[in-house]
A and B are shown apart, each in its own frame.
Chain A
Amino acid sequence: MTNVSVMTFNILSVLPILVLAGFGMIVLFVDILFSKRLGDKNILAYLSLAGIIIAAIVSRGTTPIALYSFNETFVIDNYSLFFNFIFLLSTGLVILISHQYMKRENINYGEYYALILFSTIGMMLMASGADLLNIYIGLEVMSISIYVLTGLKRSKLTSNEASLKYFLLGAFATGFLLYGVSIIYGATGSFNLKEIADFLINKGDVTGPFVYLGVGLIIIGLGFKVASVPFHAWVPDVYEGAPTAVTAFMSVGPKAAAFAAFIRILMTAFGSTHYEWQKIVYVLAILTMTVGNVVAVAQTNIKRMLAYSSIAHAGYLLVALVAANTLGVSGMLFYLLTYVFMNIGVFAIVIILSQRNDGFMQINDYAGLGYKHPLLAIAMTLFLLSMAGIPPTAGFIGKFYIFSAAIKSGYIGLAVIGMINSVISVYYYLRVTVVMYMQEPVREFYPLTISPFIVAAVVISVIGTLHLGIFPSKIMELVQQSILTMR
């Protein structure tokens, strides 16, 4: 039969995944068994955080070589470990900011925490998959959880609409991805990324057209998940309709996971056809940056603005993918980490300031915040500056790395377009700041109820944003290390 030995099933390699799955189930059980006695359900948040922390402890550290397991379908290398860190960090922060929000919106279900943990499993699988099948299953686990989370607020029509829209379009995009995967399988005879790469290097020219078709379809499928233009149509409505905590979640982790899979598939398996696919990614990057930034200027709703800004950030990250070398990828990893801090920070403050049923979501509602709640306003300003890429914040360093990678790889035009876009983005990020400090309040700021959880999230985000902006070298070393074991 198949010459497969049981020895390759290294359970330890999937330990973080098992931990998260276990805690997801525990959360569900605790919710069902003790729902009468739980009261405010704080324990569910504690349990989920405990799961995240244990998973982080399990998957910490670095590894000198890439460790393959499960018949080379699953890989632990520094790259996947770094991404695991990003996923766990973002999920942890989201749990911190969502706890209060969920109670306020009256959707504090145990399933929420379980689904968030399960979704993180999918992300980890995407980053660690050395096999297209694993990556696909990971993508589905991640996405289906998020479809459900998006529709969690059933009493709100926009939430339902967002969920349905995301589900339909997402399923369509997954179809593209799967079609691409099957064509690649037909053309190369393997799902395994390494085997595909070997095959293409040895006799790639024979199967040329099919490989291009397959890669194109895979790019469409993953391009949808990272919200790149022209596959971005779902983003604004879904971001606006979803519960804000879920929006925070889906703007960070899934995007990072999709990029993780993007890089691994394109660079490991299709590294030899780099010259062909980078043209597609080049166009995608320009479109994504430009459309995201230009349309964001016109937004008046803060969630919609952040949705377009998230599209724009996907564009910057695609610039790094065009370069597709050590510099570009390390810039991308660094940027993804900074993006976790600044984006979740912004959403934390949006959650603090909004009211039940998404009241006070207009940018004008932030007028006068600088005088009423100076600390919140300062934190918000810091995050927005970071997103605009102004020193000394982390966003500046991230953009600096990405654009310098593009220039060093010879894509000067792309870097220039990116910088022009950054300038555009300054306008709409700073507009919020201007409204906060320069305008009279149009609303009453009720005494805010701020839970210690969300304060912790904001503090962590502030520290992260500043630390990465001022002392980036240590993380940069880690990032560069993480690419070395990739191939």
Chain B
Amino acid sequence: MEAYLFYIMAAVAVVSAVYLIFEKNPVYSILYLVMILISIAVLYLLLGAQFIAAVQIIVYAGAIMVLFLFVVMLLNLSAKEELKDALSFQKIPAIVMGIVLLSAIGIILRSKIPLGKQGEYTSAYVHDVGNTQLIGKLLFTKYLLPFEITSILLFIAAIGAIILAKRK
């Protein structure tokens, strides 16, 4: 059952991604992106990462993409104003390199089964304690320093937004 759900959601994500690229109307592109984000959130759920799934929807689908939509609507980009492709000569090399990359990844994946170190957080353990609780505990113990530094990061981002947008 979970495997079927995975295939369905993965297919939705990939198809939406393709549509996202080839869609001429920016509003539709954004909505396809929202679909990708939601289907990936479902994949997270299948992996037992409920916290990331919920945060993915709240932050990306619920906030960031709405701002995208907001901007696109304000600019009122219509489908007619297509962006001129200044670097059209890159198309063929890009496709060739993409195929090369895909086959390289395929070869790597088929060559050997990766066996990383089995961590202390097995899925049974995570299920027991609760995904959110474990993330919270890790953030405030093992990864305390990066977590706290992130506050400086957000502070910088806020200063940057204000100084670039508001100062005359």
Cα(A154)–Cα(B164), bound, Å: 7
The SS class assigned to the B binding surface is helix
B-chain residues with CB within 8 Å of residue A1 when the two chains form the complex: 129, 137
B-chain residues with CB within 8 Å of residue A70 when the two chains form the complex: 144-145
Check A2/B138 contact, CB under 8 A, given A73-B146, A115-B156. yes
The SS class assigned to the A binding surface is helix
Per-residue contact bits, chain B 20-43, to A (CB 8 Å; 1 contact, 0 not): 000000000000000000000000
Q: Answer whether residue B93 sits at the interface, using C-beta atoms and an 8 A cutoff.
A: no
Q: Tell me if B116 and A186 are in contact (CB < 8 A).
A: yes
Q: Tell me if A207 and B114 are in contact (CB < 8 A).
A: yes
Per-residue contact bits, chain A 193-216, to B (CB 8 Å; 1 contact, 0 not): 000000100010011111001000
Per-residue contact bits, chain A 245-267, to B (CB 8 Å; 1 contact, 0 not): 00000000000000000000000
Q: Tell me if A189 and B116 are in contact (CB < 8 A).
A: yes
Interface residues on B, range: 20 to 34
Residues of A in contact (CB 8 Å), total 49
Q: Tell me if B156 and A148 are in contact (CB < 8 A).
A: yes
Q: Answer whether residue A152 sits at the interface, using C-beta atoms and an 8 A cutoff.
A: yes
Q: Tell me if B115 and A207 are in contact (CB < 8 A).
A: yes
Cα(A151)–Cα(B159), bound, Å: 13
Q: Answer whether residue A478 sits at the interface, using C-beta atoms and an 8 A cutoff.
A: no
B-chain residues with CB within 8 Å of residue A163 when the two chains form the complex: 164
Q: Answer whether residue A71 sits at the interface, using C-beta atoms and an 8 A cutoff.
A: yes
Within the complex, which residue of B108, B141, B155 is in contact with A4, where a contact is CB–CB below 8 Å?
Answer: B141
**Closest chain A residue to B129, Cβ basis:** A1
A residues 135-162 touching B (CB-CB < 8 Å): 136-138, 140-141, 144-145, 147-148, 151-152, 154
B-chain residues with CB within 8 Å of residue A238 when the two chains form the complex: none
Within the complex, which residue of B118, B138, B149 is in contact with A125, where a contact is CB–CB below 8 Å?
Answer: B149
Q: Answer whether residue B103 sits at the interface, using C-beta atoms and an 8 A cutoff.
A: no
Q: Tell me if B153 and A210 are in contact (CB < 8 A).
A: no
Q: Answer whether residue B59 sits at the interface, using C-beta atoms and an 8 A cutoff.
A: no
B-chain residues with CB within 8 Å of residue A21 when the two chains form the complex: 152
Q: Tell me if B112 and A188 are in contact (CB < 8 A).
A: no
**Closest chain B residue to A152, Cβ basis:** B163
- In this complex, which of B129, B142, B144 has the most chain A Cβ atoms within 10 angstroms of its Cβ? B142
Q: Tell me if B156 and A144 are in contact (CB < 8 A).
A: yes
Check A137/B160 contact, CB under 8 A, given A71-B141, A213-B108. no
Per-residue contact bits, chain A 62-74, to B (CB 8 Å; 1 contact, 0 not): 0000000011011
Q: A-B pairs with the 5 shortest C-beta distances?
A: A189-B117, A148-B160, A209-B108, A189-B116, A4-B141
Q: List 20 A-B contacts (CB under 8 A).
A: A2-B141, A4-B142, A14-B145, A71-B143, A114-B159, A115-B160, A121-B152, A125-B149, A131-B146, A136-B146, A137-B153, A140-B153, A141-B153, A141-B156, A145-B156, A148-B164, A163-B164, A203-B115, A209-B108, A209-B111
Task: Known A-B contacts: A74-B145, A111-B162. Give 7 more (CB < 8 A).
Answer: A73-B142, A134-B145, A141-B153, A141-B156, A144-B153, A186-B114, A207-B114
